Chain A
Amino acid sequence: AQSVTQPDIHITVSEGASLELRCNYSYGATPYLFWYVQSPGQGLQLLLKYFSGDTLVQGIKGFEAEFKRSQSSFNLRKPSVHWSDAAEYFCAVGRFQGAQKLVFGQGTRLTINP
């Protein structure tokens, strides 16, 4: 069965520091992978997605993620975080059983220190 693991429940970084959020997946074929961000009072916003081609994908707000098949990972990175990046981040994998479904990881809460 497909599954997604985000090993870090909570991460704190200083403003201006680099960021990497980890995501590991279990899926039998080439996965469709997504990163979403959820801010308080707002819906999930799609940061980036991977479904084929270049394994380094660029997203909005300066985020990027790299798909590594050998490690079953899709880690999210940002070279310099801003206070506005504080939010909950979810990794998700597409799962298909006749209809498209998403399986989400547990989420990583990002706190930014000034």
Chain B
Amino acid sequence: GAVVSQHPSWVICKSGTSVKIECRSLDFQATTMFWYRQFPKQSLMLMATSNEGSKATYEQGVEKDKFLINHASLTLSTLTVTSAHPEDSSFYICSVLRDRAINEQFFGPGTRLTVL
């Protein structure tokens, strides 16, 4: 399967600051990546679909100006949480679409964001 990394693995920031999370596909050129959010003891919620070279597609209810996604290359997608607030504290997980025919995704280890 595809190897996916995320950086940083955890981050603590002050309210009002912006935080950038990187998602890298280490062994596969990914035209499509996904960003999920997971609250404690809950399931994954899809935030947006990141397409290389084009604008991301956001799920209903997700603020695109709040969560900026950039997919500038086939191996890197970034999620920037702008003007973060405590309610943005969560576990953010990215995935790589490995097999478009069957919608097979491989996931990164996640990034724990804590906003003070």
Contact = CB atoms under 8 A, between A and B. Distances in A.
Interface residues of B, number: 27
A72 B71 CA distance: 36
Interface in A79-110: 90, 94, 96, 99-107, 109
A67 B94 CA distance: 27
Interface of A: 32, 34, 36, 41-46, 49, 51, 90, 94, 96, 99-107, 109
B108 A51 contact: no
Interface stretch (B41-49, B62-70, B73-81, B82-90): B41-49
A96 B103 contact: yes
A42 B6 CA distance: 11
Given A41-B109, A43-B109, A101 B34 contact: yes
Contacts of A34: 104
Nearest to B44: A104
Chain B binding surface, main DSSP class: strand
5 contacts: A41-B109, A44-B107, A94-B102, A94-B103, A99-B51
Interface string B13-54: 000000000000000000010100000011111100101000
B93 A44 contact: yes
B105 A102 contact: yes
B107 A36 contact: yes
Contacts of A46: 1, 104, 106
